[in-house]
């Protein structure tokens, strides 16, 4: 485990990516998520990690920085799934060395994936596109590069959305036919 000073130095050199659910202060790392056994198991290796029911958040000592960093995509996914209601669109922010076009691609991709799969969008999108979930999650938070360009990923997302909408339309037509066929009030 890191000392608090080492963790602060690392945070200054490489801050955690912008995230509405997980962020660092000078004293600790805050995870805005409800209590779950899954999160507890993920964080159990960091001594003095605590769940604060009154604030509905986890407080992780700075010494656990690298562990939090290693499970950040999953923590973010779990925290987001716990927050009901529409997700507030995040502002488009390019990370160091990234063009605004690439940042927009990440935002569009993420918004479309959320629309398709709801709270479990990261995992389901990776499966549907046959992509590595961890790599995809890192790209989506601005911490990594995928094996393909953002344009390729957007093309894959568009094709996936078209397939899903065609499947939904076909299923709706089958349901409509079954309802009409079984209705005692046929015209």
CB 22 within 8 A of CB 29: yes
> Per residue, what are the HEC states of the chain?
CCCHHHHHHHHHHCCCCCCCCEEECCCEEEECCCCCHHHHHHHCCCCCCEEECCCCEEEEEHHHHHHHHHHHHHHHHHHHHHCCCCCCCCCCCCCCCCCHHHHHHHHHHHHHHHHHHHHHHHHHHHHHCCCCHHHHHHHHCCCCCCCCCHHHHHHHHHHHHHHHHHHHHHHHHHHHHHHHHHCCCCC
Q: What's CA 146's distance to the chain center, in Å?
A: 16
Cα dihedral: 141, 146, 149, 155 (round 10): -80
CA distance 38 to 75: 9
- Nearest alpha carbon to residue 105 among 52, 149, 138, 57: 149
Task: Give the sheet arrangement for strand 22-24, strand by strand.
Answer: 22-24, 28-31, 57-61, 50-52
**Four-residue CA torsion sign, 170, 176, 179, 181:** negative
Residue-level pLDDT at 187: 56
The structure tokens 């991709």 sit at 109
Q: What is the pLDDT along the chain (187 residues), one digit of tens a residue?
A: 789 899 999 988 988 887 788 889 888 999 998 888 889 999 998 999 999 888 889 999 999 999 998 888 888 888 887 775 544 555 556 666 777 888 788 888 888 887 787 766 788 888 999 998 888 887 777 776 677 888 888 899 999 999 989 998 999 999 999 988 887 765 5
Residue-level pLDDT at 186: 58
CA distance 79 to 22: 8
CB 18 within 8 A of CB 76: no
Residue-level pLDDT at 92: 59
């Amino acid at each position: 485990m890191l000392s608090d000073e080492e963790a602060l130095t690392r945070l200054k050199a490489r801050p955690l990516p912008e995230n509405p659910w997980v962020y660092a202060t000078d004293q600790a790392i805050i995870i805005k998520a409800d209590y779950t056994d899954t999160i507890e198991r993920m964080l159990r290796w960091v001594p003095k990690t605590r769940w604060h029911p009154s604030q509905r958040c986890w407080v992780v000592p700075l010494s656990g920085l690298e562990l939090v960093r290693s499970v950040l995509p999953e923590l973010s996914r779990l925290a987001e799934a716990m927050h009901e209601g529409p997700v507030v669109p995040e502002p488009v922010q390019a990370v160091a060395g990234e063009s605004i076009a690439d940042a927009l691609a990440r935002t569009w991709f993420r918004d479309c994936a959320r629309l398709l799969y709801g709270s479990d969008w990261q995992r389901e999108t990776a499966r549907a596109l046959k992509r590595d979930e961890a790599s995809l999650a890192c790209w989506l938070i601005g911490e990594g590069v995928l094996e393909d360009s953002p344009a390729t990923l957007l093309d894959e997302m568009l094709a996936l959305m078209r397939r899903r909408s065609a499947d939904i339309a076909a299923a709706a037509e089958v349901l409509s036919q079954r309802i009409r066929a079984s209705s005692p009030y046929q015209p």
